[in-house]
Structure 1
Amino acid sequence: MARQQRTQVGIIGAGPAGLLLARLLKLNGIESVILEDRSRAYVEARIRAGVLEHGTVKLLEEAGVAERLHREGLVHEGVELGLDGGRFRIDLAGLTDKTITVYGQSEVVQDLIAARLAGDGPIVWEASDVALHDFEMDRPRLTYRAGGVDHELACDFIAGCDGFRGASRSSLPASRLRIYEQDYPFGWLGILADVPPCSEELIYASHPRGFALASMRSHTRSRYYIQCDRHEKLEDWPDDRLWDELKRRLGPDVAPRVTTGPALEKSITGLHSFVCLPMRHGRLFLAGDAAHIVPPTGAKGLNLAASDVHYLSRALVSHYARNDSTLLGAYSEQASARVWKAERFSWWLTLLMHKVHPDGSFAEQMQRAEIDYLLSSPAGQTVFAENYVGLPF
């Protein structure tokens, strides 16, 4: 016999979306239970994105978990584009009066877990065999196994925040879903190292040999990426080869400032665009990577999860506080409208900065013309800046 539980919102996934949603609901008197199939140590150690939009920072402030972010995060007022060996700066603050903050996703998750465990409600770690039931009806349920015991969680609503391969979206019949996706013919080879950054701001570099990105996690930890074939093997990229290729692509002005060191983490990630609609199915609501994936070029993944949570948390608060379900009905349309804009920017920036087309082709000339326009047009730079710091929720 399964152990019976009851809550208002059952949340699947203790990533940024699930944790932030639970926090905002608790601040409005709404109870939840979070089910996570991994251990706490694994979740807190996952290396992910590190660029927070202006609106994401404001949402974390609203959630009361931004104290360490403001103490340790790096506020950037601009971003640099590396082209033909030179660099061009986009003045984010000057063009939009907004900034971005470099603060690792793992740090955001740790802050949210600490707040949750300080009295907000339970997280069930290593919850296996999670299954969704009756979410098209008035009494949805979640079943799972933890500590060798079967459990059943009755709830009013289910929030599927369990990522691209989680149980939430996979529990839906394919006939109910509209899938839009694109694979890119290249990947990112990334290295994380305890070395000081080569620049005070991020550098996105376009080079004849392929794209490169100089990023950071702190004043003493750097994150670098280079474009590679998505089918390459890590063993073909010893640290010395990777550092040499990175310096070549960042150009002669930047290369002398690149401090090398042993890799703390090294990975190859394929680039993928993916949107699944609708984001609501009865009393099941998809949020974050369960509903959409963006190429990392525009740093939108975590930020899109935050915008989903913005819409969903307000919809649930309206339902419970005012018995008004209008926003719940509008959730998929509202959230996906912003998703598509972020997907467009990530797609555009990916194709703008990567080696995509054959040398001397018409398409390559169009790519160069697009870059030339961006560098010469204040209007084009404003469009870039508005999208990079984050469109309004």
Structure 2
Amino acid sequence: MITITRLFGIMFCVVFTNSVCAQQPKTSLSGSIHSYKPQLVTKGIDIPWGMAWLDEKTILVSDRKGELRVISNGILLHEKVTGLPELRAQGQGGLLDVAVDPNYNENGLIYFSYSGLEGEGEGAHTSVMRAKLQDFKLTEQAVIFDAGPNSIKGQHFGSRLSFDKQGYLYISSGDRGNRDVNPQRLDRDAGKIHRINSDGSIPKDNPFIAQKDANSSVYSFGHRNPQGMAMHPVTGDIWTHEHGPKGGDEINIIQPGANYGWPVISFGVNYSGSSFTDLTEKEGMQQPAWYWVPSIAPSGMTFVNGDIYPDWKGKILVGSLKFAYLVALELDGNKVLSQEILFPGIGRVRNVVQGADGYIYVATDGAGIFKIVPSK
């Protein structure tokens, strides 16, 4: 049950602090949705978790079941990439995100996250491998990150990858279904955002590098299951979103050493409807830039820039697995002002990315990968 204190806190937030808290979504089709339409690129990938561009015509796509595929000139090539590591494709685990090095044209490096077996203990956890791709074969493979300890649970791997302007690699790791231990303990990798160098070494200015009871790759903590992450193209800040339980999905701006509160504070409840905390805020813990009640099950996240989408320029696009639509979030600096629902019924959105060609691509479970194009 939601207590009176908790209910009042939510009502106060909605009425008085809309710049921080979620508003009711706009469900009508506004003018901007009529300016663009989804154009099917390809089907044939069951759960297209990650998308990364090698050039303006070539896309690497990870299928969660454990396949790395190539789309060239809008065609899904039959041949699959070989040389992937052993992984555990179970529950929410499998082959997850994929990213290219900021200097890919010079070094040819790609990165992908997966439910790896490298860590200590039985089961799997979030791992990251770096490699090169030659003729559909991965070469020079090196595991540069493996979270621990492993778990036999099949949920909450997090697993988005993003580079910042300095070339640091950020990795999201979910709480692995152990909310009472992992997110708030700095000696556990689960429930964290990690920051590493591209070779797996640790940046010297990471916030907990000198703390004996903390893992040095940890950059922020108190996260549940972040499945969206992107760098703001102007400020260079790393933004994430994460799944709440029943309600309380969040968007956060990641700050070094910050505690994002899970599960001490939350705007959500247990899936049964019972409450696990009466707190929506606490001193020393970050408030989200935005949250959703009810949950939309967010997955994938991209900032829109360039001139192809004047109606969306400067906004964030987020995919919804639960409701099968996109959400466009209006920003004023670091404040999220409002949201708009786009393309209802497009499919369970697993990822949304602005590609190297400037177009928005939307990957859905089973329905295909779509390119958003002007309708006129």
TM-score by length of 1: 0.25
Structure with larger Rg: 1
Going by fraction, where is strand more abundant, 1 or 2? 2
Q: Compare relative contact order (CA 8 Å, sep 6+) and give the higher one, 1 or 2.
A: 1
TM-score by length of 2: 0.26
